[in-house]
Chains A and B, each alone.
Chain A
Amino acid sequence: MPPEDGAEHFADAVLRQSSRRGFLEWAGGALIALAGGSAAARMVLPDDAEAYTNFCGHTYTTGNCPHPTGLPRVDRYSYPLRAGDGHPVDDLGRPINAQGYPVDARGNVLREADGEPLSPAPRSKVCTAAGAEHGLKLQIDGSWYRCCGGRVRRLMDCCGYTSRRINGDSALVGYCYSGRNVFCVQYYETNIPC
């Protein structure tokens, strides 16, 4: 994990003071502008794609939730999807059909050398699995929506009672409630054009 510079820490600290980002986009911006960090202000409170980190719509620096194929794209129930095409994948990252069996690019069930279908594997909610991997009980609290690639994208924080986020440093409040903080982030691609 690369160390963060002071501006980023300051930005995250600002956000930590509130659970509602709408307010902070105003108040935080003012504070940072006062601090003289115009570049930092652009970084912290983005209004264009360049300010997002790792993927479109993700503000601030909290890391991705562990995901079988990389980018933390999930379906509406928080199960993992392959980011490139939205195909459902199991916990091993294999594209699967509706019954959970691994399939090839054409949707045919993959088979063992003796013709037996490949066994299904567990498919877990990404947030819950992140918690299990790090010994935490995590859940989705609030979320935020942004326009990404012509569709509305829902940014979801994976929250828990933890002072540390997946990056290893202090966790933010983000979209979390009731004293929970953001441990890692994921997103859901809606079908709504924008």
Chain B
Amino acid sequence: MLSGLALSAMLTALVAGIAGAWSPCGFSMVDTIGTALGDARRPATFVACTTFTAGAVLGGALTFGGLASVGELIGGPAGGVREALGAGLALAAAIADWRGVRIAPQIRRQVPERWRWTMPLPLACGLYGILLGLGFTTFVLAFAVWALAGISLAAASPSVGLLIGLAFGVGRALPVLWMAPGMRSGEGGQRLEEMAAEPRLWLGLRRLDALGLGLCALFLSGTAAAAAPLGSDPSAAGEQLVWQPPRGPGVLRVGSGRTLTLPGSYPAVSRSSIAWLQNGVITVARQGTLAVTASFSVGQANALALSDEWVVYRGQATGGSESLAGISLINPSGPRYAMRSRPAGQIGRPGLDGSTVVFTLNTSRRSAIEAMNLVTGARRLLRAAESGAAFANPSLLHGRLLYERIDRCAQQLRIGSMDSATHDRVLLSLPSTVRRDPGYQPGYEHNWNGASLCPGGGAGGGGTIRLGATAIDASAVFVTEIPQNARDAQILTLPG
């Protein structure tokens, strides 16, 4: 499902593309394609229209998809700053377009006219389409085009960037498709003349763009505000997000952005329920009303995970050891153990999807992400390393595994199939927090010591931010960023 930002940015891009028809190139395209350079055959115009449209869509996808990819690559601990900047840019452009301010900076260039004479018309029109679709190779007719570039970068989602680019390309092609085929009959020519004589239509389109940009700014600022709730241990389902603040009980944030303090700590959420822990009792309640549906006395516990079928908790014994157990919400009975009696810190915070619990089991001999079906008791090893790396904080949704992989050089937030690591994607990469020496002693001959270095990083104190607990829902992923003072931990929202 398209997010509000994607939808409003797409509509804005479509209108911005149409507004581009009021440029020298826009007029030239209608004329060039409509007259087919004197070719009386209608198919010539049809083919040129097709290649122009394909080129424009491709160009748009390249520009805005590329910018979004760059935004994704930049990634990093932006903490909502990038979204806030994007929102500011969109708002400024909206004001300028609403007031019809003269476009600046303007790109006073046109597509090469000689292509009309030196190339077959379909090829030339295809190339013209690419140049116009790229957006910034010729005259820009609305501030929205600049703003959409910033929005693509800020959204940092290649899919959103592609959608913006596709819409922009279609927008650039629509006036051509509307007028060019009718040029010979005179109808198209009349439309073109009316368009040339009526700048108010262009200004009207810019006002539509302004409205779209206003919506984009609203969604982006909402994202910026939602990007960094202070706390850790997020859990997400639908539009609900819960987390544990540095002090006090857990917090629930609903889709509207409203937050609610819960009666207990270590909250977890599923599609229909919410759970928290208070005085050794797990309480499960309905979302919305918070009407209690079940409660279980489990003693000391310090982590919860919830699905509509199970609640899983990490229990603490008096000796300091910990265990991981689940209780069925459909047929409650005694706890079913996923892991028994391990020293504190070895069993990671659990993630739960349906009846499948995922967790890390970390020792100084091996780091692993394991899964267990709480109904059948079947266990699976999802990721493991015996040297050089550690895994942490897995979350699971419909077979998609979100987790962290940490080695001596980097901390990576990854997502992929729970069945195989082959196609795992890195969503966020931070440098290791470890201080490293340069791999040679000062005063001695410095020769090859590449193995001691990290790609893109040398010696020094390392990063100051550590990745913490994660959560995943259908449209976004959440990860805790923990600075040196853990009380300043915050939860980042990233497109999934």
Q: Which of B40-48, B124-132, B356-364, B416-424 contacts A (4 or more CB under 8 A)?
A: B356-364
A120 on the B face (CB < 8 A): yes
B448 on the A face (CB < 8 A): yes
- The CA-CA distance from A108 to B300 in the complex, in Å, is 23
Q: Which residues of A contact B438 (CB under 8 A)?
A: 70
A49 touches B407 (CB 8 A): no
A24 on the B face (CB < 8 A): no
B482 touches A68 (CB 8 A): no
Chain B proximity of A49: nearest CB distance (Å)? 7
Q: Which residues of A contact B260 (CB under 8 A)?
A: none
Task: From the candidates A68, A72, A101, A124, name the one contacting B345 in the complex (CB within 8 A).
Answer: A101
B387 touches A128 (CB 8 A): yes
- The CA-CA distance from A56 to B362 in the complex, in Å, is 36
B279 on the A face (CB < 8 A): no
Chain B proximity of A77: nearest CB distance (Å)? 13
B444 touches A55 (CB 8 A): yes
A91 touches B390 (CB 8 A): yes
Q: Which residues of B contact A109 (CB under 8 A)?
A: 345
B486 touches A111 (CB 8 A): yes
B464 on the A face (CB < 8 A): no
B448 touches A122 (CB 8 A): no
Given contacts A70-B436, A70-B437, A112-B482, contact A119 B390 (CB under 8 A): yes
How many residues of A sit at the interface, in one of the four size bands? 35 or more
B441 touches A56 (CB 8 A): yes
Given contacts A54-B444, A92-B434, contact A70 B439 (CB under 8 A): yes
- The CA-CA distance from A93 to B454 in the complex, in Å, is 12
A19 on the B face (CB < 8 A): no
- The CA-CA distance from A53 to B446 in the complex, in Å, is 6
Chain B proximity of A42: nearest CB distance (Å)? 11
Task: From the candidates A55, A56, A89, A122, name the one contacting B387 in the complex (CB within 8 A).
Answer: A122
- The CA-CA distance from A99 to B469 in the complex, in Å, is 23
A64 touches B449 (CB 8 A): yes
B406 touches A92 (CB 8 A): yes
Q: Which residues of A contact B288 (CB under 8 A)?
A: none
B447 on the A face (CB < 8 A): yes
Candidate in A61, A84, A92 with the most chain B CB atoms within 10 angstroms: A92
B233 on the A face (CB < 8 A): yes
- The CA-CA distance from A129 to B452 in the complex, in Å, is 13
B437 touches A83 (CB 8 A): yes
In the complex formed, the residue of B with least CB distance to A115 is B302
Task: From the candidates B346, B388, B434, B440, name the one contacting A132 in the complex (CB within 8 A).
Answer: B388
Complex interface residues of chain B between 325 and 370 (CB less than 8 A to chain A): 343-346, 348-349, 360, 362-367
- The CA-CA distance from A71 to B453 in the complex, in Å, is 10
A28 on the B face (CB < 8 A): no
Q: Which residues of B contact A124 (CB under 8 A)?
A: 386-388
B63 on the A face (CB < 8 A): no
B232 on the A face (CB < 8 A): yes
Chain A proximity of B386: nearest CB distance (Å)? 6
- The CA-CA distance from A55 to B446 in the complex, in Å, is 8
B445 on the A face (CB < 8 A): yes
- The CA-CA distance from A53 to B445 in the complex, in Å, is 5
Candidate in B231, B366, B486 with the most chain A CB atoms within 10 angstroms: B486
Given contacts A114-B233, A122-B386, contact A1 B437 (CB under 8 A): no
Q: Which residues of B contact A68 (CB under 8 A)?
A: 408, 434
Complex interface residues of chain A between 89 and 139 (CB less than 8 A to chain B): 89-94, 96, 99-101, 109, 111-124, 128-130, 132-133
B345 touches A117 (CB 8 A): yes
Task: From the candidates B388, B433, B448, B482, name the one contacting A133 in the complex (CB within 8 A).
Answer: B388
A64-B449, A66-B408, A116-B302 are known contacts; what are 17 more A-B pairs with Cβ within 8 Å? A49-B444, A52-B444, A55-B440, A55-B441, A55-B444, A61-B448, A65-B451, A100-B364, A109-B345, A113-B233, A113-B487, A116-B344, A119-B345, A122-B386, A122-B390, A129-B388, A184-B451
Q: Which 10 A-B pairs have the closest CB atoms?
A: A93-B434, A124-B387, A100-B364, A117-B345, A121-B390, A113-B232, A70-B437, A119-B362, A54-B440, A53-B447
Write 15 A-B pairs (CB below 8 A) sorted by A numbering.
Answer: A50-B445, A53-B447, A64-B439, A64-B452, A67-B452, A71-B437, A71-B441, A91-B389, A116-B349, A118-B345, A119-B367, A119-B392, A123-B364, A124-B386, A124-B387
